[in-house]
Structure 1
């Protein structure tokens, strides 16, 4: 996604600097050219040699560099970068950016460059919540600086709260989105299902599965970023609704089916990423079932409707893409679903793998259609979503011409 894009990664002096090595690796994997700039404080936490080995370029730390163009490294680097990312961005660096102070290579090149600037704040939670820092962040936002993070959680000082630098995989996603914005889905309506369904047994119990909804939400986010009008039919998840996406929240498979069929006619493309329960209890008890002296209990289950199959056979069917989340015989089952459900395309993933299965932030897909297949290598779900949308776009356009 970042082939030939030039990312200047500026590292300031915070404990989160150790994460920057992983960030360099992630960016290189996506095809970026990465030039690392370090402050003196950053070098107290991680060595330039490590980052040079990962980036394949000498680390720059001097404002006046005899090896740079006209000995002015800040001008050379300012002209080179497609994006400047400061990660971690300490409270000190943030304050200097606001004040326009230029007393080292990092702050000087930021003043000298017209490239987009993004910062990934990282500091103690009290420093992040301090009035001065909040005012500085507000000022940078008003100037068009992208603020990525921070996250909440346990910090190196032992405190818990906002201030953690985003993880490298998240920052890599942000860079990809910043440098690869597209509008190739403009004018298209994309209908997406995501998450699990819950099939009630009684008022306090239900049948469900481990789906987190992350893949479906990533698809919704990327389709919106590429210009589509997105309708997301979501089962119960713990995810924030993507900005600009119409979210229809449902619980059961029957509710999801009703929501999908209410909008399928207006959709150009449908992606069924939800893990819909195959069966539901025939009856839901009105009150909590009591255990009593029983040593066993039987549930009579009935089959739920096949939502993606119903959409693919609709008289005004959209281009229909299914998902096959399998633990074994993946290709056999995926091909069977592709044919039997009359899908245009199916994305197969191995949910038995802990590194890409349910609840993981990463995924890997094998995409099948009747005439061929493609493999999307393991990456963050946002990147995988973007690559799947590339495949969908190509096949949708080809089909539209026939």
Structure 2
């Protein structure tokens, strides 16, 4: 879901439709959104703060200061760290204050200081909704850039029937989900990611391989998809589950990986080569299992095609090409040399000297080096967090390319 990990502040006003927001909060939390509820003093007469606290798994804010806990609820922080502020149900009274700068409660103070996008879903009787002053306020709010989730027609609390009914929770959820999807920085972009090891066959039961688990590449594929990209993942042998909505091609050898990557390279805007591809492969593959008989056994090896250098040589102007380097000595110098030789936009340096980094673990510590040699050192984090940092840099690079074209 596109609401996953989003910080959503929901402001609830004093109207009978407040009960519908319980269903919305529950749906958002089930979809892994982080929900913070703010209630106007009047809203507490319709649904208790305890209900929303239980559903959102967060304390509910209704006043600037909580005398029981001594906690000051900072409206600036609430609006600053949110990805979206939704005001629903938005009463005629609150709409008027929003439109004209009124600020007599915590919700309105949060609205006036919010740096994030704002949605509002009105709910009121049909005559109140159709009144020219209400319609002027709605138009004024839309002129500010706020997003209207229009009320629907139906039975109203007054017993009348007409326009003014709060949009259904599932429709509000869909509006929020669509908003985040449309706002994704990599929407419309195609990404190609490689991950995992390659296995170079010696005989029917043996191979040359490495300790790569594929976790870093799979995390990058997942994050790129969450940022809106259409992702093709080419994976060597690994038992990892394919990230949601990511297309996957399984390969075994370096040659198979090269073949798959070349098929998709030209269409890709973003290429992240995180796979640990074998540098050498056996010259001959035995058709039967090689028996153990000699004290010393020698296998003739030949170089595999350097996939990253091959791609770098034909990189297109639209593309962001990212490589990985795992080093044990002269790490920074070796990574910078690889960056230049292979015509990369970025290289991600892993050091085998860092505890908790490298193969087969859930954490990593990397240094990201740009084509201009600008260096970003990231501390030890989960591979998912490292993936987010890398993908944010990729998204910024793609945005800059779009502005230049």
Range into which the TM-score falls when normalised by the shorter chain: 0.5 to 0.7
Deviates more, 1:371-380 or 1:206-215: 371-380
Pair 297,310 (structure 1): closer, same or farther in 2 beyond 3 Å: same
| Corresponding position of 1:156 | none
Measured after TM superposition, the shift of residue 326 of structure 1 is 1.3
Matched, 1:310 2:310: yes
CA distance in 2, matches of 1:225, 1:198: 30
Residues 181 and 226 in structure 1, CA contact (< 8 A), matched pair in contact too: no
| Corresponding position of 2:370 | 369
Give the SS at the match of 1:321.
strand
Pair 349,276 (structure 1): closer, same or farther in 2 beyond 3 Å: same
Matched, 1:231 2:232: yes
| Corresponding position of 1:285 | 286
Pair 182,209 (structure 1): closer, same or farther in 2 beyond 3 Å: farther
CA distance in 2, matches of 1:397, 1:230: 18
CA distance in 2, matches of 1:309, 1:300: 24
CA distance in 2, matches of 1:226, 1:182: 9
Q: Mapping of 1:18-167 within 5 angstroms?
A: 68=66
Q: Mapping of 1:168-317 within 5 angstroms?
A: 183-292=184-293, 294-314=294-314, 316=316
Q: Mapping of 1:306-385 within 5 angstroms?
A: 306-314=306-314, 316=316, 318-371=319-372, 372-385=374-387
User: TM-score, with normalisation over the residues of structure 1?
Assistant: 0.56
Give the SS at the match of 2:365.
strand
CA distance in 2, matches of 1:143, 1:260: 40
Give the SS at the match of 1:243.
coil
CA distance in 2, matches of 1:349, 1:315: 24
Measured after TM superposition, the shift of residue 319 of structure 1 is 2.0
Measured after TM superposition, the shift of residue 383 of structure 1 is 1.3
Residues 367 and 375 in structure 1, CA contact (< 8 A), matched pair in contact too: yes
Equivalences, count: 261
Give the SS at the match of 2:323.
strand
Instruction: Tell me the alpha carbon deviations over residues 222-247 of structure 1, each in whole angstroms, 9 at most, x when there is no partner.
Output: 00001000000000112000110010
CA distance in 1, matches of 2:225, 2:7: 23
Pair 6,329 (structure 1): closer, same or farther in 2 beyond 3 Å: farther
CA distance in 2, matches of 1:180, 1:210: 36
CA distance in 2, matches of 1:336, 1:69: 61
CA distance in 2, matches of 1:315, 1:362: 31
Pair 198,361 (structure 1): closer, same or farther in 2 beyond 3 Å: same
Give the SS at the match of 2:380.
strand
CA distance in 2, matches of 1:182, 1:376: 27
CA distance in 2, matches of 1:337, 1:226: 28
CA distance in 2, matches of 1:298, 1:6: 62
Residues 197 and 211 in structure 2, CA contact (< 8 A), matched pair in contact too: yes
CA distance in 2, matches of 1:6, 1:375: 30
CA distance in 1, matches of 2:188, 2:401: 17
Measured after TM superposition, the shift of residue 380 of structure 1 is 1.2
Residues 182 and 225 in structure 1, CA contact (< 8 A), matched pair in contact too: no
Measured after TM superposition, the shift of residue 395 of structure 1 is 2.4
Instruction: Tell me the alpha carbon deviations over residues 186-228 of structure 1, each in whole angstroms, 9 at most, x when there is no partner.
Output: 0000100000000010010001111110000000000000100
CA distance in 2, matches of 1:182, 1:308: 31
CA distance in 1, matches of 2:277, 2:285: 18
Residues 335 and 368 in structure 1, CA contact (< 8 A), matched pair in contact too: yes
Deviates more, 1:362-371 or 1:247-256: 362-371
Measured after TM superposition, the shift of residue 399 of structure 1 is 4.0
Q: Considering only aligned residues, what root-mean-square deviation do their CA atoms show, in Å?
A: 4.3
Pair 5,352 (structure 1): closer, same or farther in 2 beyond 3 Å: same
Pair 281,246 (structure 1): closer, same or farther in 2 beyond 3 Å: same
Residues 193 and 274 in structure 2, CA contact (< 8 A), matched pair in contact too: yes
Give the SS at the match of 2:234.
strand
